[in-house]
Each structure stands twice: as C-alpha cells, then as structure tokens.
Structure 1
Amino acid sequence: MATHDFLPGAQRSAQLSFSDQPAWIVKDEVSGGWVLQIGGVEQSHVDLEDPTHVVHEYLRRMANVLDEAWPGGQPLRIAHLGAGALTLARYVQATRPGSAQLVVEIERELPTLVTTALPMPEGTDLEVVIGDAREELVAMEGRRFDAIVLDVFSGEESPAHLATKDFYLEAISHLEVDGLLLVNVGDDAGQRFLGAQVRELEDAAAEAGLSGVWTLTLASLLTAPADGNMVLVVGGALSSPEVETWRKAWQAAGPHPGAVLDPMETATAFRR
C-alpha cells in the first residue's frame, strides 16, 4: 500500500537550484487547501477539492478578467510565465476544459514538486518549459496565445530584463489579435517599481497600437499606498464594445473593496 508521502496533498519539499531557496508544500490550516512556500514566504494557494476557489486576491482578479473576456466554457490557449503552484492553470482547466496551457518556469524542480504533491485536474493539457521567460518566448516565434499571464514581478528584486517595454512588446507579439496580456506586479508602499512598470507597459501598448493599460487592484492601494499587488492588462480584446460591461462585472466580482481603472484613469493614477 502507498505511504502517506505519496498521497496527493502530502507535505513535500524541494531545494530550488536557480534561486537556491527551499520550496515547501504545506497544509493551510486557516483557509484549507495547500500552500506553496518558497524561502518561507507564501507564494500560492491550491484547493484540490475546488480549483475555482482562488484565495489570493490578485489571482482572483485575473480569473475574473478571463471569465468575462471570452464566452463561458470556451477553451483558451494560455501561456503562464511563472505559475507558482499552477493555481490559475487549475482554474482555467476547471472553468474551460480543453484549454491548451503552457507554463514557462525557471525553477527546474518546481513543476515536478507541485504536480506530484498537488495533481492537476483530470484532463489538463499542460506543457511545461523550463527556462527564462524572455528567452523561451523568443524561441516560440510564430506561436500565438489567447492570453499570456506574467507572474514573476515582486518589486525591485524582479528580473530586470523582464521589466522593460521591449519584453512587453515581445509578449504582445505572441497574442492573438483579440488576446490579453495580464501582468501581476507586487510592490512595497512606495510603489516606485509599480509606477515604472505601468509606464513601460503603456509605452509597449502604444507602440503595438493598443488602447492602453487597465488596472485591477484593491481600492485602498490607490489612495493610501501600501505593500500589495496590482493586475495590469493590455490587449486587443479591450477594444471590444463589451469592455464597459466587462468592467462592471470585474468590479462586481471583487475581491472587495476593489478598483478597476481604464487606460485614462491608469495614466492619471501613475502619471509620469
């Protein structure tokens, strides 16, 4: 009979070679489910019983964007650049079965740790590529996605070569005409890095002929800056006449109290 160590959801760990940090899958005694910790810091939460249960607010906002921008249940082609415990990939499989998903992860040991301890939903079509997000995108010349999710940024410690207009342009070039690029940016109370990323993404959107940057976040971060995350979104889908309807749905879906800024409001909030 299999031992507890091989049961789905059992606590496991691995030493990550790129960052030289320990990664742990541990039980969440508060919210239920399981947590991925890297270097002792919580990175992701997974509910194996209900993959649509998304605890981290920025991921919930990303899920809300995907929910509205395409008809419910329609399979999508999605690239996840950095994916932690694959929380959003699990959500997409649960809500849009048949989606073709790609993960690019620089930590070689992480996908194996995550998928062994926390198996993906049955039927998940998931391609895992180990490598640098920018290098791997360049190598995918001609490949297109409905959505690209970038989840590698955390303030000034983020990879500098990814925090540029040129990288955003590379990502945008891999989108379908009606595709979306969703970027999670975490920052400290000063929000200097966040402001810089908004400007880089605005410049990339302008050069690509897109309408500008939408922002989804906790409302209080706009009036009393603190440590937190904001989701930045650009792409051809945002030119849809339905975008104001989507905006109302994103606002209503929360988490609350939330804010949804259109490109003009984003530019004002993070003016140069």
Structure 2
Amino acid sequence: TLMHGQINHGMQIDHPRLKLRPTTYFTDESGVGMAILLKQAESDSLRVGVLGLGIGTLAAYGREGDIYRLYEIDPAVIRLAEETPYFSYLRDSKAEIITVAGDGRISLEREARSTPAPTDPVAAPAGRGGGLVPFDILVLDAFSGDSPPAHLLTLEAFALYLQHLADDGVIAVNISNRYLDLLPVIGQVRKTYGLEMAYIQSRGDQKISANAQWVLLSRDKKFMQHPDIARADSLHKRSVRNIRPWTDDYSNLLSVLK
C-alpha cells in the first residue's frame, strides 16, 4: 500500500493470480472501471491518459494494443511504481506504458504545441493537439488530498483536456475526498462546455476496494446513456451547489468544504 499521511494512493495484492486485479478506487464497479470496460467493448485498442500515477493501478486494465500514458509530477512516485519490488502494475500490464514526468497540465500543454516525435506511439501525423492522437479516456486522479491542485480543475484546464480527447472520448475525474466536495466544480465545467455528466459512487469493502466517487464527462450522449452508466449514475439524487466557476484567475477551496 502507498500511503501519504492518511490518504491511500494505491494497493496491490501480493498473489500471483490476483496481482493484476484493480483495487481501491479503481475496481470494475468504480466509475473509471466502468468507463474503461465499456470502451474496451467498443474497441480492440484504447489510448488512455492518466494524470496522477499513484502505483499505476489503472494499468491493470491494459490490453495488448492499448497505450497508457501516465503523467506524474513526483519522481519518487514514478520510481516506486516502476522500479521497486513492491508494485508491479506497470511492469505486468499488457498495454504499452509511457510515463511522463512533470506537472500533468504543463505536459499536456507542451504536447499540444509540439510536433510529435516519430517514435512516440501516441503521436500521429494528423489530429488535434499538435498531431497527438486523442485519448479515448482521460483520467484525472490528483484530488484525494486536502489541498488538491486547483490548476487542474479550472475551465482552462478542461479546455485543454477536451483538446486532447477523442470526440467520443470520456474524462473520468476521481473526486473521492474526505474534506472537499468537488462535484460543484465539475458541474460548472459541464455547464460551460455543454458536456454529458454522470456521478458514480461505489461502495468498497475497505479491504480490497474503497468507497469511490467518480464523475464522467463526455460529448458522446449515446455512450453516457449506456444502461450500465444510467443505472449507476446518482447525479439525480444529489443537490449540486451552484458555485462560481473555477478559472486560472479564481478558485476557492472554502466554497467546496464538506
């Protein structure tokens, strides 16, 4: 288990037959697990971007032909996920794994501006984002602490994410947090960009799986109306506060305290 204070950033089962089982916030029943499995049913190969590496749990979903591009600001976390004997999700994944060191938003901005390198398996001669083949799923998993990076939650940040997203792609945001209710922040993103949104809660056993709250955003209304998502979506049960949208010039953690 990788812990930072009281925050669990990932756990891997130490058993040969179970070591590639997704755990904690990333199980099959979670919002992100559901999105990945449904997208896998549509395509033999997926391009998945992840902001926030943790121990690389999401790589457990990777199949041959998939590309997982994982962005992580902390070099020590990358070393733990890639090089230590404690965690092997990245090494054992069937997908092609690419880790990008640095702030996720800055890295995406740089990639959007740059000409793709011929050897980069995410790159292609044409496409949005400076030639990058867009992601089918973009996962944001950097908000579980008491001081989440607000610059990853602004309208400008989501404009960048949408630039990197396929037209039928999905953004999955992990808003599981003891202290903050980030759903109103994401709700303003939905309003601003006219996106479909689902709020999916899953109950964990507190051993292998954890209680998780995920928000899914997409331009693709058909995908978001899939029966599995429709059944799991509990947005209609929530009263989402109407707050001032977060931008690069304004954010307010006090407005989202639980």
TM-score by length of 1: 0.67
1:201 to 1:228, Cα distance in 2 relative to 1, 3 A: farther
Q: Does 1:202 find its partner at 2:185?
A: no
Q: Does 1:260 find its partner at 2:233?
A: yes
Q: Of 228, 232, 235, which residue of structure 1 is paired with 2:218?
A: 235
Following the alignment from structure 1 to structure 2, what is the Cα–Cα distance between the partners of residues 156 and 182? 20
Q: Could you say what secondary structure the match of 1:153 adopts?
A: coil
Q: Could you say what secondary structure the match of 2:74 adopts?
A: coil
Q: Which residue of 1 aligns with 2:153?
A: 163
Q: How does 1:87-166 map to 2 (within 5 A)?
A: 87-90=57-60, 92-93=61-62, 96-116=63-83, 117=85, 118-119=87-88, 120-121=91-92, 123-141=94-112, 142=129, 143=132, 144-154=134-144, 156-166=146-156
Q: Does 1:54 find its partner at 2:22?
A: yes
Would the aligned equivalents of 2:198 and 2:224 in 1 still touch at CA under 8 Å? no
Q: Could you say what secondary structure the match of 1:110 adopts?
A: helix
Q: Which residue of 2 aligns with 1:216?
A: 200
Structure 2 segments unaligned to the other structure (5+ residues) = 113-128, 204-209, 243-258
How far is 1:172 from its partner? 1.4
1:156 to 1:105, Cα distance in 2 relative to 1, 3 A: same
1:73 to 1:127, Cα distance in 2 relative to 1, 3 A: same
1:115 to 1:183, Cα distance in 2 relative to 1, 3 A: same
Q: Could you say what secondary structure the match of 1:187 adopts?
A: coil
Moved beyond 4 Å, runs of 4+: none
How far is 1:78 from its partner? 0.6
- In proportion to residue count, which structure has more strand? 1
Q: Could you say what secondary structure the match of 2:53 adopts?
A: coil
Would the aligned equivalents of 2:184 and 2:241 in 1 still touch at CA under 8 Å? no
Q: Does 1:83 find its partner at 2:65?
A: no
Structure 1 segments unaligned to the other structure (5+ residues) = 1-34, 220-226, 252-258
1:146 to 1:172, Cα distance in 2 relative to 1, 3 A: same
Would the aligned equivalents of 1:154 and 1:186 in 2 still touch at CA under 8 Å? yes
Would the aligned equivalents of 1:172 and 1:235 in 2 still touch at CA under 8 Å? no
Q: Which residue of 2 aligns with 1:74?
A: 44
Following the alignment from structure 2 to structure 1, what is the Cα–Cα distance between the partners of residues 80 and 99? 13
Residue 58 of structure 2 aligns with an amino acid whose one-letter code is L
How far is 1:183 from its partner? 0.4
Residue 261 of structure 1 aligns with an amino acid whose one-letter code is S
Following the alignment from structure 2 to structure 1, what is the Cα–Cα distance between the partners of residues 79 and 47? 22
Following the alignment from structure 1 to structure 2, what is the Cα–Cα distance between the partners of residues 260 and 167? 24
Residue 63 of structure 1 aligns with an amino acid whose one-letter code is G
How far is 1:229 from its partner? 3.9
Q: Could you say what secondary structure the match of 1:139 adopts?
A: helix
Aligned length: 210
1:241-268 deviation line (CA, Å, top 9, x unaligned): 67232326xx5xxxxxxx4236xx27x5
1:52 to 1:200, Cα distance in 2 relative to 1, 3 A: farther
Residue 216 of structure 1 aligns with an amino acid whose one-letter code is I
TM-score by length of 2: 0.71
Following the alignment from structure 1 to structure 2, what is the Cα–Cα distance between the partners of residues 40 and 98? 36
Q: Which residue of 2 aligns with 1:65?
A: 35
% identical equivalent positions = 21
Following the alignment from structure 2 to structure 1, what is the Cα–Cα distance between the partners of residues 167 and 75? 32
